[in-house]
Amino acid sequence: DAGITQSPRHKVTETGTPVTLRCHQTENHRYMYWYRQDPGHGLRLIHYSYGVKDTDKGEVSDGYSVSRSKTEDFLLTLESATSSQTSVYFCAISPGLAGGSAQTQYFGPGTRLLVL
Amino acid sequence: AQSVAQPEDQVNVAEGNPLTVKCTYSVSGNPYLFWYVQYPNRGLQFLLKYITGDNLVKGSYGFEAEFNKSQTSFHLKKPSALVSDSALYFCAVSQADRGSTLGRLYFGRGTQLTVWP
């Protein structure tokens, strides 16, 4: 999976608790993304990062925050987990925009989150 | 707004037969187009992409896709399906023109391909 790890791989938590998911890359890619995958919706972008401490919102960012203090790590935090956030979360990385080929995104193995 | 449609939730095909997984897109400006495959309990794997040039793009595992600008389509094809091709396939689009936001990908809902022996 292109030098991308996600932790934890599985998590069960209770409504109202904070949860942090970690994405770690060894490719030194500049861009990192968090998606969620739900049946019937494909993948939807939550947040993305275009450099250390540079982040922005995607299309489904409510209830989520992110941080990137190092090139290799991108954290996704569910501030107060809800049942609607039960999903599979994928991290992706991309080298950057220099040249068309740079826009290929490579995905991690995913984190399966269940909020009870 | 950018969007991708995969009109078929499921495609079933016999092993050895040709397969097609359909994708149409909507984007302002020129598109970058991608196909990804997802096997059970795995992340998405990149198959192929169209950036510019030849409308027929060849990718991994014998897959190819044809870009058709007039029909705004990017259908995935394989001449002879294998049982091991059974998986979930996603089409995605990104806006290629300058000023596009960080190569953001917009995904279709996915098509489950089943190849039966």
CB contact under 8 A, A48 and B46: no
Model pLDDT, residue A2: 65
Using pLDDT thresholds of 50, 70 and 90, give the confidence band for residue A98: low
Nearest CA to CA, how far is B79 from chain A (Å)? 25
Is the model's pLDDT at A103 over the cut of 80?
A: no
Nearest CA to CA, how far is A104 from chain B (Å)? 8
Please state, for a pLDDT cut of 90, what percent of chain A lies above it: 78
The answer to whether residue B31 neighbours chain A at the CB level (below 8 Å) is: no
Strand bridging mode A10-13 / A111-115: parallel
Q: C-alpha angle with apex B84: B83 to B87, nearest 5 degrees?
A: 100
CB contact under 8 A, A108 and B108: no
Rounded-to-integer distance, Cα A19 and Cα A3, Å: 24
Rounded-to-integer distance, Cα B90 and Cα B73, Å: 14
Q: What is the DSSP string of B68-108?
A: ETTTTEEEEEESS--GGG-EEEEEEEEE-STT-STT--EE-
The residue of chain A nearest to residue B94, with distances taken between CA atoms, is A103
Task: List, in sequence order, every residue forming a beta bridge with B4; answer none if it has no partner.
Answer: B25
Rounded-to-integer distance, Cα A9 and Cα B19, Å: 33
Model pLDDT, residue B99: 54
Nearest CA to CA, how far is B29 from chain A (Å)? 15
pLDDT per residue over A2-44, tens digit each?
699 999 999 999 999 999 999 999 999 989 999 999 988 889 9
Tokens of A18: 């904070």
The answer to whether residue A101 neighbours chain B at the CB level (below 8 Å) is: yes
C-beta separation of A113 from A19 below 8 A: yes
Which of B27, B105, B111 to mutate against chain A (most A CBs within 10 Å)? B105
Nearest CA to CA, how far is A15 from chain B (Å)? 24
Per-residue three-class SS string for B45-73: EEEEEECCCCCEEECHHHCEEEEECCCCE
User: What number is the average pLDDT over the span B94-104?
Assistant: 65
Model pLDDT, residue A104: 86
